[in-house]
Amino acid sequence: MISTFYFIVKENNYKYTLELVKKLLTHEHDLIQKANGWIMREIFKRIDQDVIRDFIKKNYKNIPRTTLRYSIEKMHEEERKRYLKGEF
């Protein structure tokens, strides 16, 4: 996950990152779940908020709670609460 951060920061490219997140979405290890959430949060902060919103909506049922919590940290409080409840 760390290696894809280069593409986000230097090239504003999140394609490879989200592909990797999707592959690792159901991984059981909490550190992988945290890494997925962290990198999604970085895409949200740096590139495109709507991409992450759409990704969460499409994959909500498969996103572990840890990943979801990390990925929505920079959203406004009301929006965060809605996403935690699955109300988009």
The predicted-structure confidence for 21-74, as pLDDT tens digits, reads as follows 999 999 999 999 999 999 999 999 999 999 999 999 999 999 999 999 999 999
Domain span holding position 30? 2-85
Helices and strands (H, E) in the chain, number of each type:
6, 0
Q: Report the distance separating Cα 37 and Cα 63, nearest Å.
A: 9
Number of domains in the chain: 1
